[in-house]
Structure 1
Amino acid sequence: MPVLPSLNLYRRDCGYQTTITLAGELDLHEAPALRVMVGDCLREGIRAIDIDLTTLAFCDVSGLNALLAAAERTASAGGLLRLHHPTPPMARLLNLSGTGFLLRTPHTAPACPRVPDPMAAARPRQVAS
């Protein structure tokens, strides 16, 4: 029986910019998928890569290493990689590891307009009591 990936990657391009949304767990087994997607972006001429961490449930040191390698690879190609919307545990990992520089600064806004998320309706919603 095939093993389902514990990480889903969604990519939305807008000119020379893309947003990659990570959903699930970024660990030793799933980190190569991120490396491949960033490599594809760079080969296609994209130089601004935004990684949305809103739905990232877990990240271990292998995942952090993949994010750092992606940032370095993007910078080497003349681009910029920024992380957006980290969960509290992810923000703590970035701060403790000294890699908070990858976070988007508040004054930089995405250049592309937001488009409706086709998966939004399928996600469970929290009901206030």
Structure 2
Amino acid sequence: MPIPHLTIYRHDRKTRALITLAGEIDLHTGPLVRESLACYLRDCIRTIDVDLTPVTFCDVSGLNVFLAAWHHMAAAGGSLQLHHPPPVLARIVDLTGSRFLLRGLPAPQELPPPREGTIATTPALRPAPRYEALHRLAPVIPAAVGGVL
């Protein structure tokens, strides 16, 4: 299976930066995004805008990277905002209660309906509060290779 392709473009302006991601963000490319965002903190950039317009796919591991970066930026007195997420990421953000992270996200009634064969969300399945979403998406590390969790 080929490794997904991701390109990162960085545009700095004093203490503010725009990062444009193009391609797929998943388990394989997430560490590249994580390291790129960590560089901003080391470079004393305190406001990061991430343009996701050219992103073709982003799964929950990508969202986990963005939530961790948002948390680190907030702890350092900065901010991180995502703009124009792909539909898959918009759905994940809505389900996890992570809307605080995004800009350019359509209102819930404008989100595309779930595909046939998937579980539809109902009003009874409310998203978790922000702090629960952050902890629920924390990375899970197995105790040992092939071991029991």
| 1:39-54 equivalent positions in 2, closer than 5 A | 39-54=38-53
2:71 paired with 1:88: no
Residue 87 (structure 1) shift: 2.4
Cα distance in 2 for residues equivalent to 1:14 and 1:6: 27
- Size of the alignment, in residue pairs? 104
Runs of 4+ in structure 1 off by over 3 angstroms are none
| 1:37-89 residue CA offsets vs partner (Å, 9 max, x unmatched) | 11111111100000111011111111110011111111111100001112233
Give 1:103 deviation, angstroms.
Answer: 1.2
* Larger CA Rg, structure 1 vs 2: 2
Distance, in Å, in 1 between the alignment partners of 2:55 and 2:94 is 17
- Using the aligned pairs only, state the percent identity: 52
Q: TM-score if structure 2 supplies the norm length?
A: 0.65
Taking the aligned partners of 1:40 and 1:92, their CA distance within structure 2 comes to 28
Structure 1 residue runs without a partner (length 5+): 107-129
Q: What residue in structure 1 maps to residue 15 of structure 2?
A: 16
Aligned to 1:55: 54
Aligned-CA RMSD value: 1.8
